[in-house]
Amino acid sequence: MPPLTDRYPLPVLQDPPGAGGERPRTWRSLEELQGSPELARAAEREFPPGAAEPPRGLDRRRFLQLAGTTAALAGLAACRKPAEKVMPYTVQPPDVKPGIPNAYATAWEPEGYAAGLVVTSWEGRPTKVEGNPDHPASLGATNHVAQALLVDLYDTTRVRGVKQRGTPRAFKGYLQEQTERASRLEANGGEGLWLLLEPSASPTRRELVERIRQRFPRARVETYHALSRDNVYEGARLAFGRPLETRVRYDEARAVLALDADFLTQGPDALREAREFSRARLPERGAMSRLYVVEAHHGVTGMNADHHLRMKPSEVERFVLAVLGELAKTHGLGGLERYRELELAWPEKAREVRAVAGDLARNGERAVVVAGERQPPRVHAVAHLLNAVLGSQNRLITLYEPGVEAVRSGPEVLRELSEAASAGRVDTLVMTAFNPVYTAPVGVTLGAALSAVPNAVYLAFREDETSKHSTWVLPAAHVMESWGDTRAVDGTASILQPLIEPLFQGLTELDVLSPFAGVAAQTPYQLVKSHWQRQTGASGAAFDDTWDQWLAVGTIPGTQTQGTRATVDASAVESSVRNFAREPSQGLELNLLPGYKMRDGRYFHNAWLQEMPDPLTMLSWSNAALLSPATAERLSLKPRDKVKLTFRGRWVEAPVYVLPGHADDTVSLELGWGREWSGDADAPEVLGVNAYLLRHADAPWFADGLQVEKLDERGRYATSQDHWAMEGREVAIQDTLGAFEKKRPEYLKHLKGPVEELYEPFKYEEGYQWAMAVDLSRCIGCGACVVACQAENNIPVVGREQVERGREMYWLRVDRYFEGSPDEPRAIPQPMMCQHCEKAPCEYVCPVNATVHSDEGLNEMVYNRCIGTRYCSNNCPYKVRRFNYLDYRPKVTEVEKLGFNPDVTVRMRGVMEKCTYCVQRIERARIESRKERRPIDTEALQSACEQVCPTEAIVFGSLHEKDSEVARRHADPRHYAVLHELGTKPRTAYLARIKNPNPELEHG
Amino acid sequence: MAWIFTPRANTVARVVAAGLLTTPALGVLGLWAYARSPLAQNLRQPVPQPVQFDHRHHAGDEAIDCRYCHSTVEVSSSAGYPSQATCLGCHAQVWNQSPLLEPVRQAYFADRPIPWSRVHDLPDFVYFNHAIHVSKGVGCVTCHGRVDLMPSIQQAQPLSMGWCLDCHRNPAPNLRPLEAITSMRWRPGPGDPRPEELARRYDVQPRTHCTTCHR
């Protein structure tokens, strides 16, 4: 079939004036780039094929029969509406007013360190998580995982009650038995006692662990995390002689070299670093920073790089050494004299090395090198060395003493445990680390070993592989059900306070450890409070006041530290560099990644995170084997082909996903998948591939020697990258700094300004004129806004099959575009939601006036008028309207209902919905201000996506306030309207994404 | 051969035709009338409650202010239902042996809520806010009627969207001074400010856009 533009020669389908060929075309998938006929056919249709079909297992006839019966029964039963029940409190708590949500400050430990939270609670039901603006590691933002924490809280598949070998027991019974056992163990110094804990910065836990160590000197207290930070600490040990945490001021940096480091989304201070990084990416604020990312896969930080240098993961080390050599030889940097004679060059990458080293040398103390957690200690040590000689260690970097126990905590720990247990040397094992049996590396048969432990205690959030082999299974409390404490990287301490009584009798780590520390009589609340009481030295009522103050603010004042000083041990690093023996990487390399959404697998059962599209692959509900286009071609693999990945004699089968920008000869696989999902489906299905089956203790992240064999089957995955296609129009705009500066006064002139109109324009006279602006230069594409929108607006999860059909319900999606060649593309993330057009095409076509415009510029959606014609969605050029094809909440339990936002209607089947600019927040703010007869504080009024954004990419506000941030951005030279030529006059402005590439690498 | 259609057939045909035309019209009219009837609007229907609470006595005879029990009406969307502790605040002293109060005492000491039946039940897609109405001079009696005369609470107004909009389009006739906001017997007197003056004084600007009530 000829393309749309040929069949319908309408002006609106032609390229808008000024667009032609200036900017490379953007594309979302290789299929789109290559013009796959299936995709073209799909794009012809407004809705994907089969979009209107009922779900599998219920054909149309059966559905009509059921519908008829239901209607008849409903008709009889509905003569009188049953009276709704109202339950007042027996004694009303003084702080609770029905209808007014409360907010409580608490914190959680995403990577062992604190991130502050403020949780909204309606009459004791937590419904929304926000970041704590006063917490240094949050600054008001959260990541996507924190937004989805509530799903875990209300998950009915959690472990309920204490069980001993499957028999329900009281927690008191546990305390009694373990106290007795502990006194028995005390006799021989704790021989046979093992503790397997997660890294945690909790001061109270540290105190308990210290007590246990003193009481049982021969006990083994080990820290384990499948995604351990061993390399970070080992690297610091090598460079500084002791483990240290590094924090970088990216807003001050002018050149950043990230060595396989996804610092924008991973690491204990990622939110703050992402915000500071984004502030250095604005051309109007003077010098922009330049980011080089060296990595194998294409991660979120890589997506934001000015230069994404692809290489096998094992070659990153060679690259940084080549940079080191170049800086020593060519630039003669002081402090690197001893490397001048070393042969460190890498001829194949000479051009990149020269450019990177030149940039680092030029920027001196404002240039920084950061290494990722997966890279070996030597890379970290060299990074520290380079920062020291460049001078950035003093200017941009703060070093902190680790708040967690910086001990070896990788897979090696499990091997030792397994050996000890199999040999019968473990009598009592207390595990609070996440599912060690599942995350254990190849060759460690921990499950069988655990069965030999007479007293294996496991604090589990859900029944899993480890709980099957444990003697005692204790229900873990959710972070919002727990008392506790924690510290941020900079030392800032926070108290964790519960938002709700444990729903399933959950217990905290402190509960579980208490009998061994000899404090079984104390609750976690008492333990934490008494710990801090001792710290302050205050007592009684005076301390109670202080304590209440801490809880209210969410941080403990005065606990922040200034960082520490350390000097790089040049000779230690030198001997390490001299020992570097490059074994050339042979053939294909296996590259294991921490799960972006699953982490080590602990969020596998979280439906929001399952459905959230991965920022790069847009995969939901599974992982896939990621390959570069060139490698896929060499191996004659197509997307969705199933392959057998064989590594050191063990194999898994995975579908192929061809990821533009991925390194050649490398296959990346995310950890944390490949387990049974029992969610809604009648038959549990395995989602994704378990990459732990290929993980070896000596090669926890990457190694060569992978074999890939194509199978005859086709694999399956759900990716939304081609949904809501934009047919190659100029939607996501990215330019280089040079191009922007050159065109500045006229920049994107064809995408702003007045357009011809058929209808008289409506005069917006009311005070507030709601509008949004999305700065693509700041947006890093992390996807936190997607989940925040879901939480705020009661957006349902539709499931894997429905995502495959293109029925995902997200009001806000983050489209990911590529620009350039498939091998070396530049990625552009673009949050896309209802644009609230002043001339909204959807409104003209609704036959029942279910979507109308307000005098304040909102495109309103009235669910109770909607009859589901879907004309509006058909006519929406931005493809942001979502239709409830099915009842997505047929089996919602009473517990899950607690998590709904009561301020937003839960939509039923057959109704259209879309972004409302969080109108419930507008109206709440309006009522509050009208009551007090003052104007709305539009700066304090935030939409959910704006509030969560770590990088301030999204702002919401009113255009009538000329000095507001949203008005400023609407007048920014970089601003443009998506599909401006259609004359829809959207209220959401986008600011073009400006890149700052190195001219040396740009040409030639 | 006899005629198939006698002259009477014309009449029959006319009557049938008229019937065919009028029946649906009457049906629609009937439904329309029903929808506006007190029965369909739940008006004046006593709702059985777990406790025989009598507003006549509390709000009428004792003249207890509405806000004593519905304490969040000025701050929250919900006016609030009194907790059992509020009931027993007085009834620990007066009528503390009354058998009518037995369920309240039981609920209080068992720490179980009393499951009251909602009388003014708006559809779930309507977000009504008490506080804004009360602070703009719309009195309790305007929507809830003469509660002080009701032995058991009944719905006094239709609470339909049209009824809401009538006032949102022209609020002045329903405004009263804030001092008389909970009064059941207030009538505009000669010394009272005119409705337009009240609207100006309280900055009354009701909105009629969909998202004002539907979100």
CB contact under 8 A, A916 and B215: yes
Pairing, β A245-248 against β A851-853: unpaired
Q: What is the pLDDT of residue A61?
A: 54
Evaluate if residue A775 carries a pLDDT over 80: yes
Q: CB–CB of A26/A732 below 8 Å?
A: yes
Alpha helices per DSSP H over A846-900: 871-875, 894-897
The arithmetic mean of pLDDT across residues A735-755, rounded, is: 90
Residue of A nearest to B78 (CA): A99
Average pLDDT over chain A reads 91
Backbone angles phi, psi at A439, to 5 degrees: -90, 0
The enclosing H or E element of A68 equals helix A60-77
Domain ranges in chain B are 1-35, 55-81+118-213, 82-115
| Range in A15-19, A374-378, A609-613, A804-808 with the lowest mean pLDDT | A15-19
| B interface test, pick of A86, A862, A865 with most B CB neighbours within 10 Å | A86
Residue A339 has pLDDT above 50, yes or no: yes
Residue whose C-alpha is closest to residue A813's, from A919, A688, A721: A721
pLDDT of residue A890: 81
Chain segment B21-68, per-residue pLDDT in tens:
999 999 999 999 988 888 888 888 888 899 999 999 999 999 999 999
pLDDT confidence band for B4 (50 / 70 / 90): confident
Give the global pTM: 0.92
Contact B214 A97 (CB under 8 A): no
Distance CA A598, CA A594 (A): 8
Token pair for A571: 């000779």
In degrees and rounded to multiples of 5, residue A713 shows phi and psi of -75, 165
Q: Label residue A242 by pLDDT band (50, 70, 90).
A: very high
Kindly indicate the confidence band of residue A679, based on its pLDDT and cuts at 50, 70 and 90: low
B150: its two tokens? 């009701």
Looking at chain A, the whole-number percentage of residues with pLDDT higher than 70 is 93
Q: Are strands A666-670 and A588-593 parallel, antiparallel or unpaired?
A: parallel
Task: Classify A36 in phi/psi space as left (phi over 0), alpha (psi -120 to 50) or beta.
Answer: beta
Greatest CA span in chain A, whole angstroms? 93
What letter would DSSP give residue A522? S
Express each pLDDT in A868-915 by its tens digit: 999 999 999 999 999 999 999 887 889 999 999 999 999 999 999 999
Q: What is the predicted pLDDT for the residue at A77?
A: 47
For A904, other C-beta atoms within 10 Å of its C-beta total: 19
Which of helix, strand or coil describes residue A106?
strand
Which of A993, A178, A49, A148 lies closest to A609, judged by CA?
Answer: A148
Could you tell me which residues come within 8 angstroms of residue B61 by beta carbon, excluding any fewer than 6 positions away? none
Q: State pLDDT tens for residues A531-543.
A: 999 999 888 889 9
Question: Percent of chain A scored above 90 by pLDDT?
Answer: 81
Return the half-sphere exposure (C-beta side, CA atoms, 13 A cut-off) of residue B56. 7
Is the pLDDT at A682 greater than 90, yes or no?
A: no
pLDDT at A699 over 70: yes
CA–CA distance, A49 with A329 (Å, rounded to integer): 61
Six token digits for residue A732: 């996501």
Q: Which residues contact A822 (CB under 8 A, 6 or more apart)?
A: A30, A33, A629, A660
Evaluated on CA atoms B211, B212, B213, B215, the torsion sign reads positive
Residues 6+ apart with CB under 8 A from B58: B64, B69
Residue in B86, B203, B211 nearest the CB of A854: B211
Determine the residue of chain B that is closest to A81 in CA distance: B42
Matching residue, tokens 């929507």: B143
Cβ neighbours of A75 (radius 10 Å):
9
* Residues 34-63 (B) with a CB less than 8 A from some CB of A: 42, 47
Res. A78: pLDDT tops 60: no
First to last CA, chain A: 39
Q: Is the confidence at residue A57, as pLDDT, over 70?
A: no
| Helix H or strand E encompassing A969 | helix A965-970
ipTM: 0.90
Angle (deg, nearest 10), helices A570-578 and A230-240: 120
Question: Which of A84, A92, A860 is facing B209, going by the closest CB pair?
Answer: A860
Q: What percent of chain B has pLDDT over 70?
A: 100
Parallel, antiparallel, or unpaired: how do β-strands A255-259 and A290-295 relate? parallel
Contact B115 A933 (CB under 8 A): no
CB nearest to B132's CB, from A88, A860, A931: A931
Nearest to B76 among A99, A860, A862 (CB): A99
Rounded CA separation A414/A438 (Å): 11
Q: What is the pLDDT of residue A1004?
A: 42
CA A686 and chain centroid, separation: 22
Name all domains of chain A by residue range, CATH numbers in brackets: 45-49+734-753+767-998 (3.30.70.20), 102-153 (2.20.25), 162-228+406-553 (3.40.50.740), 248-400 (3.40.228.10), 587-719 (2.40.40.20)
Burial class (CB in 10 A: 0-12, 13-18, 19+), A177: middle
pLDDT in tens, B131-178: 999 999 999 999 999 999 998 999 999 999 999 999 999 999 999 999
Residue B85: list chain A partners with CB under 8 A: 89-92
Residue B33, chain A, CB below 8 Å: the answer is: no
Q: How far apart are CA A289 and CA A264, in angstroms?
A: 14
Give the pLDDT score at A1003: 58
Exposure string of A689-724, with b = 16+ CB inside 10 Å and e = fewer, is bbbbebbbbebbbbbbebbbeeeeeebebbbbbbbb
Q: What is the DSSP letter of A586?
A: P
Whether the CB-CB separation of A474 and A480 falls below 8 Å is answered with no
Q: How confident is the model at residue B189 (pLDDT cuts 50, 70, 90)?
A: confident
Tokens of A260: 């396989």
Q: Which of B208, B210, B212, B213 to mutate to test the interface with A (most CBs of A within 10 A)?
A: B210
Given a cut of 60, whether residue A681 has pLDDT beyond it is no
CB contact under 8 A, B115 and A86: yes
Judged by CB atoms closer than 8 Å, whether chains meet at B84 and A852 is answered as no
Say yes or no for a CB contact (<8 Å) between A86 and B215.
no
Q: What share of chain B is helix, strand, coil (3-state, %, to 5)?
A: 45, 5, 50
Look at residue A292 in the predicted model and tell me its pLDDT. Answer: 97
Residue B40 confidence (pLDDT): 82
Q: Residue A171 in contact with residue A159, Cβ under 8 Å? A: no
Order of strands across the sheet with A954-958?
A954-958, A770-775, A988-991, A975-976
* Chain A neighbors of B123, CB-CB under 8 A: 864
Q: pLDDT digit string (tens) for A794-839?
A: 999 999 999 998 999 999 999 999 999 999 999 999 999 999 999 9
Between chains, do A854 and B125 touch, taking CB under 8 Å as contact? no
How much helix, strand and coil, in percent to the nearest 5, is found in chain A?
30, 20, 50
DSSP element (H, E) containing A731:
none
DSSP A248-315: E-TTT-SEEEEES--TTTSSTTHHHHHHHHHHTS-GGGSSPPEEEEEESS--HHHHT-SEEEE--GGG
d(CA A631, CA A710) in angstroms, rounded, equals 13
- Residues A206-226 have a mean pLDDT of 96
Range A114-123 average pLDDT: 96
Rounded to whole angstroms, the Cα distance separating A674 from A669 reads 11
Which run of H or of E encompasses A352? Answer: helix A350-363
Chain centroid to CA A925: 29
Q: Which of A110, A46, A92 is nearest to A599 (CA)?
A: A110
Residue A562 has pLDDT above 50, yes or no: yes
Contact assignment for A927 to B131 by CB distance below 8 Å = yes
Are A496 and A510 contacting, i.e. CB atoms less than 8 angstroms apart? no
Average pLDDT for A563-570 = 94
Q: Does B135 touch chain A (CB under 8 A)?
A: yes
Residues A84-101: what's their mean pLDDT?
Answer: 92
Handedness of CA A930, A931, A933, A937 (dihedral sign): negative
Cβ–Cβ of B215/A923 closer than 8 Å?
yes
Q: Please report the pLDDT score of residue A838 as a whole number.
A: 93
Cβ distance of A858 and B124 shorter than 8 Å: no
Whole-angstrom Cα distance, residue A508 to residue A459?
A: 8
Whole-angstrom distance, CA of residue A936 vs CA of residue A938: 6
pLDDT confidence of residue A179: 95
pLDDT surpassing 70 at residue A69: no
Asked whether residue A586 carries a pLDDT value surpassing 90, the answer given is no
Question: What are the structure tokens assigned to A594, written together?
Answer: 């921490």
Sorted by sequence, the CB contacts under 8 Å of residue A137 that are 6+ apart come out as: A113, A114, A115, A116, A268, A269, A271, A272, A488, A489, A490, A492
Residue A20: pLDDT band by 50, 70, 90 thresholds?
A: very low
DSSP annotation of B117: E
Q: Which positions in chain B touch A854 (Cβ < 8 Å)?
A: 209-211
Burial letters for A529-561: b for 16+ Cβ neighbours within 10 Å, e otherwise?
Answer: bebbbeeeeeeeeebeebbeebbebbbbeebeb
Cα gap A636→A277, rounded to integer Å: 40
